[in-house]
Amino acid sequence: MEKYEYYRKLNIDRDVYDYACKVESALEDRFRAADEMAEICQLKVLDAFHREQVQEACLSGSTGYGYNDIGRDTLEKVYADIFNAEDALVRPQITCGTHALALALSSNLRPGDNMLSVSGRPYDTLEEVIGIRPSAGSLAEYQITYDEVALKDDGGFDLEGIKAKIRPDTRLVAIQRSKGYSSRRSLSVEQIGECISYIKELRDDIIVMVDNCYGEFVEEIEPTDVGADMAVGSLIKNPGGGLAPIGGYIAGKRSCIEKAAARLTSPGLGREVGASLGIMKDLYQGLFLAPYVTASALKGAIFAANIYEKLGFQVLPDGSEPRYDIIQAVTFGREDALKAFCRGIQAAAPVDSFVTPEPWPMPGYDSDVIMAAGNFISGSSIELSADGPLKEPYSVYFQGGLTWGHAKYGIINSLQYLVNDKIVDRKMLK
């Protein structure tokens, strides 16, 4: 059977398919580079598995206190190796990315300390962690102060601005690698490294924490390779490889990790407790698959950028620039297009494909948000997913795809929905 026939059965029109093929054929070099990065990262991961002698006993979990959990303890060493870090804390008790970041911050800051974000306003959910928006239990309630330095117009770090804002009580500098849901560019690990060197030269006692969400395995090096004291992320994004059902990690300096462990469980108990229950196999296998899963998502992002850029929509990053995370923003400028895009992504999902995503007033957002996700793991954004606030300029943030085949079909289907609703004219596909 001709390949198109499989797409036709999944409701893709011939002209939409042909357009997508044309776009894809121009991306051979980019895709080869993504595969090569996956290959390098696969070897990094495998080398860590070998060095730490991952064995069958690691795959079954513990219960109760979780003393002497060889699977948990070995996985943390594997993470430390991959991140070229002294140590790592990788736990299902870290419930999500926000929790991992809150843990890294609250355990390493003390009353009277100042935290400085040097990549502008941090990710939405951190506003309540820090206390930018008042919230019970925030750092602000513990007399930890906060300041920030915006990135420059060219997207780079404002080194003069940083120098001016570092005060005697500045204890920790935070850097966010991925743009998250903002309109800035994501930062490369190299750029982050230059900034860290600059800060350490000013004050070598300052702890630098990098929010590494969505960045893992996109580049050959991680922030901890270039001097970050902590790299922090979520296991239901890149490093969980789509299999991890929950969890977060902090990799970095032993002194920072010990403090985080004491805070996560209890002073005195630290990392010695924390049962891994039955999910160790998924954390190991997910990590093992993560480089290629990340590459699939990365190809999906590059493909989406090119599909929509050529149709005249604004895309960030654009179709040709280098990538430092797996997030793709597409700006539609109209509500119906944003909704159609999300319906197309939803309809392409392996789970809940028949569901129609509807905008809803999500806590913490000042407008309704529409989300598309038909996931194996609830809320997992390494799986094909999209969301966008229903307000000007009607941008969608798109990420994930456990396999390239699925990411590709999802994006083609989103375009099909825009064509069906006559938002994209068929003549444009020629």
The CB-side HSE value for 239 (13 A sphere, CA atoms) comes to 32
Give the x-and-dash track for 92-121 against ligand PLP (CB under 6 A).
----xxx-----------------------
Number of Cβ within 10 Å of residue 188's Cβ equals: 19
The site that binds ligand PLP (CB under 6 A) totals a number of residues, namely 12
- Which CB atom, from 175 or from 304, has the smaller least distance to ligand PLP? 175
Q: According to CB under 6 A, which one of 49, 79, 214, 288 is a site residue for ligand PLP?
A: 214
Site stretch for ligand PLP (CB under 6 A), options 149-157, 172-180, 188-196, 335-343: 172-180
Residues 259, 262, 268: CA angle, nearest 5 degrees: 125
326: left (phi over 0), alpha (psi -120 to 50) or beta: alpha
Q: Is 383 in the site for ligand PLP (CB under 6 A)?
A: no
Can you spell out the DSSP letters for 186-237?
PPPHHHHHHHHHHHHHH-TT-EEEEE-TTTTTTSSS-GGGGT-SEEEEETTS
Site stretch for ligand PLP (CB under 6 A), options 211-219, 304-312, 356-364, 386-394: 211-219
Q: According to CB under 6 A, which one of 211, 216, 222, 282 is a site residue for ligand PLP?
A: 211
Alpha carbons 217 and 298: distance in angstroms, whole number = 10
- Which CB atom, from 395 or from 413, has the smaller least distance to ligand PLP? 395
Contact of 222 with 231, CB cutoff 8 Å: yes
Q: Is 400 in the site for ligand PLP (CB under 6 A)?
A: no
- Which CB atom, from 74 or from 191, has the smaller least distance to ligand PLP? 191
Q: How far is the CB of 123 from ligand PLP (least distance, A)?
A: 4
Alpha carbons 358 and 377: distance in angstroms, whole number = 20
Q: According to CB under 6 A, which one of 176, 296, 331, 416 is a site residue for ligand PLP?
A: 176
Contact of 21 with 4, CB cutoff 8 Å: no
Q: Is 284 in the site for ligand PLP (CB under 6 A)?
A: no
Q: Is 180 in the site for ligand PLP (CB under 6 A)?
A: yes
Binding region for ligand PLP (CB under 6 A) = 96-98, 123, 125, 176, 178, 180, 211, 213-214, 234
